Structure 1
Amino acid sequence: MKLSKLVTAVAVLTLSASSSLALAKVDEATAKRLKNDLTPVGAERYGNSEGTIPAWDGGIKEIPANYEEGQFHPDPFESDKMLFKINKSNMAQYEKHLTEGQKALLTQYAPGYEIPVYPSHRSASYPERIYEKLYENALGAELLENANGVKSTIATSPFPIPANGVEVIWNHILRFRGEQYEYRAAFVTPTKDGSYTPILTNYGYYFAYAEPGITLEEIDNKIFYLKTKIVSPAKLAGTLTLVHETLDQVRSPRKAWRYQAGERRLRRVPNLAYGTDLPSTASLRTVDQKDMYNGAPNQYSWELQGKKEIYIPYNSYKLNKASEDAENVIRPSHINQDLTRYELHRVWVVEGKLREGLNHVYHKRRFYFDEDTWQIVLAEDYNEDGELWRVSEAHTINNYQVPATWIAVELTYDLKAERYYLDGVDKQGPVNYNPDFKRREFTTSAARREAKR
């Protein structure tokens, strides 16, 4: 199926789904496309007609010989030569492959902000059990009432052959990122002159939803458990946050608790969701922008707009390694673009409009999902006047020892404040995907004990 025909088919599905979000699971004949013209994840298996996007051949299937456990991932594509750089003066030449957000960044931060483009590699790969679950999910997964949750799905994205925008949103929220992991890294909010104070934090994730052999009944309506603890600066050190993220957010919304050293109490945080400012980010980001987008999608009407070929951040191994030291990455107004890598890939485009009567700082949002991972790689957020306000990027790598694709560095540019939020610098080593967590370590009683140590 050619791209133009696929986009037309998506548009028809979107229109047919607009009257009822009950459409979800597909029949056996449709699901078999995941073994033929589509990849197991639901991407188009073939390349494009120009040859600038290759066919998917399984992604990175073997760990590079020079990889050592406990070290940063060596770049499998280090020998690639840059094809060209896009800047304000030549962006009209590449306009069809750029988003509105990218054009705004190229214009506002010229001449320093450029987009270096490299050959495209469809490096995404996942364990075989995840491919099997994707097929099962396609046959059985369904949206709950008002699309606030899903059922009959496990382990990974529920709708590899999506029929509407909200199904694509859930594919991102539930995409496979590993079973559990921990790491220590900092986020920063540089001022206009580039000065910053890193907030170094320990992160621990336990993905109950992705646990091998687990059932929906056994996960007790939990997607994952998250525990963070700030290490520095001193005035924030010891602040601990515990999150229980739920699958059916109608039955049980997200639960969150926070311990602050000065209070010496673990308190329930009822508003750690939606458009609330993400703590300690100088009001440059909302809670639901973490991981590019998270939480219940019920505040917006989501429209699936089909696919586009876009230059997106990809295979960002160089940036991941360089971000071991924030000074390598941080520059006034924007990050050091010489460390970045962009490739031409197909993306799903979904636009959300704030539902009437609801409140959020963003009145329109546009997300771009990498077809090979369901990861949101680019996002645009608009204010109530319809003006583009913030532009976000997820620079990803394939963590090939899992294997799974996840964010190495995540950032949001505020075009009004001319500042940015950057997460994933001052890394204290690579992500540990084998921390041997137990679910009981993510209870409120365990969090209290850890906070007081």
Structure 2
Amino acid sequence: MYETMQKKLIPALCISLLVLTSASFTQAAVSQAEANRLGNSLTPFGAVRSGNSAGTIPRWTGGDTTRPDGYEGTGDHHVNPYPDDKPRYEVTAGNMAEYRDVLADGVVAMMKAYPETFRLRVFPTRRTHTAPDHIAENTRKNAVRASLIDGGNGVQNAFGGHPFPILHGTSEEKAMQAMWNHLTRWRGRWAEREYTEVVVVNGQYRGVTMRQEVFFNWNMEGGSPEDLDNIVNYYLSTVIAPEQYAGGGILVHETLDQVKEPRKAWGFSAGEVRRAPSLGYDAPIASAGNLRTVDDTDTFNGALDRYNWEYKGLQEMLIPYNNFEITSDKYTYDDVLDKQHLNSDLMRWELHRVHVVEANLREDARHLYHKRVFYIDEDSWNIALVDQYDDQGNLYRVTMAMLKNFYDMPGVWADLEVYHDLSKGIYHATGLINESEGTRTFKNEFPGKRYFSPFTLRRRLSDY
């Protein structure tokens, strides 16, 4: 089964995609008085500043910007800043009933499927997320001016920060606003990384190494909503290994309103650059063993128009957080990758408040997932967990994002994402960096939009 899958997925490994996008309704923004809560009772990004009554979630005090001992500079994110932290408790298949209120359904399903090996090591909660001052300032401006348009498939009058730090309106509007905050969340201006992705079948895997470059047009300092030209980001992914596929990849211009103007994408290999017109929604990614759809990438990307959206509220939940250990170069990929999931001994879980958003497929729409439930970290607006259901109502796929703090960004983002297929007992991991020299690097300089032109790309292919 493994070798058959490899034959199918390797030729299409150029479709590894990191994206952002858009979605929501035309509705009034919040009042200035409401927006004044940002930076006071709320963090600058819209989270509740105070901790919980039990003391298990602390007060947000500005995030963590102190680089840990042993940190050697840009791109060195292997260092664990909390080496002395010990688990407070463990959640297993045997005791999960005690913690059911703080467990996502997908986590429970994983414990039931793999009761002997999958468990949660729960560490002290550290609210490490932060962002530059201009992102906080833009977020304050967005709060009183941003609105959803085109039935929720676009945002207007927002730029360079979270468009909806204070969710408001109907349940549907709140849900779409939360998704937009994820799609436009702070991830730096210009980010690069090299990483490996694998499909794990009965403990066997073969790595594909990629180079990724992203310019976040949304976060361009000194810009404005008028400067976006409907482009959220520019994305370029190139295969480095195995050698026979090196130089292939994909170029994406990610549009803000993808219903009005679908994303522009080009695939390239062997000196050829061609348009890729169907890169969206539930198109399968072959290099992920078809365990990841295009709009699964980055836990969710693309248009929201195929689902009905419902906001379920802010809840306390155990989610992967501050996962430095599992991405450390102390370990090999063999250490990290267990048979059906990542090594539970190396994963870190924390109790955080999350926005819970449910998406149900519209009757007139088609998608592989008929229901999706997203768990969005209140501090960073990263989606940490996703439960995906099939057309029979069965929970059969579970996505986990290994969030951690990046001191050079600064802020919280995922370095590693894992997509589990419970029906087959296999999984896909993307973002493995244990056997590479560094992870993401963040830069302020931008080589210009011409760098992401398909015409410029043709000239660069001569390097391979």
Normalising by structure 2, we get a TM-score of: 0.90
**Aligned counterparts of 2:69 and 2:138: Cα–Cα separation in 1:** 29
Which residue is equivalent to 1:206? 215
Matches within 5 A, 1:296-375: 296-322=303-329, 325-375=332-382
Match of 2:438 among 415, 429, 432: 429
**Aligned counterparts of 1:402 and 1:28: Cα–Cα separation in 2:** 29
Give the superposition deviation at 1:324: 6.8
Give the superposition deviation at 1:181: 1.1
Give the superposition deviation at 1:189: 0.4
> CA-to-partner distance for each residue in 1:296-336, whole Å, 9 max, x for gaps?
11111110000111111001111121487322211111111
**Aligned counterparts of 2:437 and 2:396: Cα–Cα separation in 1:** 32
- What's the secondary structure of 2:319's corresponding residue? strand
**Aligned counterparts of 1:391 and 1:158: Cα–Cα separation in 2:** 28
Aligned-residue RMSD, C-alpha: 1.5
Contact preservation (8 Å) 2:25, 2:147: no
**Aligned counterparts of 1:328 and 1:379: Cα–Cα separation in 2:** 25
Which residue is equivalent to 1:13? none
Matches within 5 A, 1:377-416: 377-416=384-423
Which residue is equivalent to 2:57? 53
Contact preservation (8 Å) 1:324, 1:428: no
Match of 1:376 among 362, 367, 383: 383
> CA-to-partner distance for each residue in 1:387-436, whole Å, 9 max, x for gaps?
00100000111112221211111011100111001011144412111284
Match of 1:269 among 248, 252, 276: 276
**Aligned counterparts of 1:72 and 1:42: Cα–Cα separation in 2:** 27
**Aligned counterparts of 2:164 and 2:228: Cα–Cα separation in 1:** 20
Worse-matched range after superposition: 218-227 or 422-431:
422-431
Give the superposition deviation at 1:248: 2.4
1:286 matched to 2:293? The reply is yes
Identity %: 38
**Aligned counterparts of 1:132 and 1:337: Cα–Cα separation in 2:** 39
Which residue is equivalent to 1:174? 184
For structure 1, the residue ranges without an aligned partner over 5 or more in a row are 1-19
Instruction: Go from structure 1 to structure 2 and tell me whether the alpha carbon gap of 1:34 and 1:418 turns closer, same or farther (over 3 Å shift).
Output: same
- What's the secondary structure of 1:289's corresponding residue? helix
- What's the secondary structure of 1:291's corresponding residue? helix
What is the identity, as a one-letter code, of the residue corresponding to 2:246?
A
Give the superposition deviation at 1:73: 4.5
Contact preservation (8 Å) 1:24, 1:162: no
Matches within 5 A, 1:20-39: 21-39=25-43
Match of 2:230 among 201, 205, 221: 221
Contact preservation (8 Å) 2:77, 2:406: no
**Aligned counterparts of 2:78 and 2:196: Cα–Cα separation in 1:** 19
> CA-to-partner distance for each residue in 1:101-132, whole Å, 9 max, x for gaps?
00000110111111100011111111111111
What is the identity, as a one-letter code, of the residue corresponding to 1:77?
Y
What is the identity, as a one-letter code, of the residue corresponding to 1:170?
W
Which residue is equivalent to 1:89? 94
**Aligned counterparts of 1:94 and 1:384: Cα–Cα separation in 2:** 29
1:443 matched to 2:453? The reply is yes
What is the identity, as a one-letter code, of the residue corresponding to 1:167?
Q
What is the identity, as a one-letter code, of the residue corresponding to 1:117?
V
> CA-to-partner distance for each residue in 1:1-22, whole Å, 9 max, x for gaps?
xxxxxxxxxxxxxxxxxxx932
Worse-matched range after superposition: 344-353 or 140-149:
140-149
Which residue is equivalent to 1:160? 165
Which residue is equivalent to 2:119? 114
- What's the secondary structure of 1:217's corresponding residue? helix
- What's the secondary structure of 2:106's corresponding residue? helix
Worse-matched range after superposition: 83-92 or 366-375:
83-92
Contact preservation (8 Å) 1:179, 1:211: yes
> CA-to-partner distance for each residue in 1:354-382, whole Å, 9 max, x for gaps?
11111100000000000001100000000
For structure 2, the residue ranges without an aligned partner over 5 or more in a row are 1-23, 169-173
Contact preservation (8 Å) 2:320, 2:402: yes
Contact preservation (8 Å) 1:185, 1:428: no
Contact preservation (8 Å) 1:299, 1:355: yes
**Aligned counterparts of 2:231 and 2:375: Cα–Cα separation in 1:** 26
Which residue is equivalent to 1:5? none
> CA-to-partner distance for each residue in 1:323-352, whole Å, 9 max, x for gaps?
873222111111111111000000000000
Contact preservation (8 Å) 1:188, 1:199: yes
Normalising by structure 1, we get a TM-score of: 0.92
Contact preservation (8 Å) 2:153, 2:258: yes
Contact preservation (8 Å) 1:87, 1:106: yes
**Aligned counterparts of 1:189 and 1:327: Cα–Cα separation in 2:** 13
Which residue is equivalent to 1:124? 129
Which residue is equivalent to 2:204? 195
Contact preservation (8 Å) 1:323, 1:424: no
Give the superposition deviation at 1:218: 2.4
1:80 matched to 2:85? The reply is yes
Worse-matched range after superposition: 432-441 or 402-411:
432-441
- What's the secondary structure of 1:113's corresponding residue? coil
Which residue is equivalent to 1:8? none
> CA-to-partner distance for each residue in 1:258-288, whole Å, 9 max, x for gaps?
0122xx4211111111000023111111000
**Aligned counterparts of 1:124 and 1:353: Cα–Cα separation in 2:** 30
1:138 matched to 2:138? The reply is no
Contact preservation (8 Å) 2:315, 2:355: yes
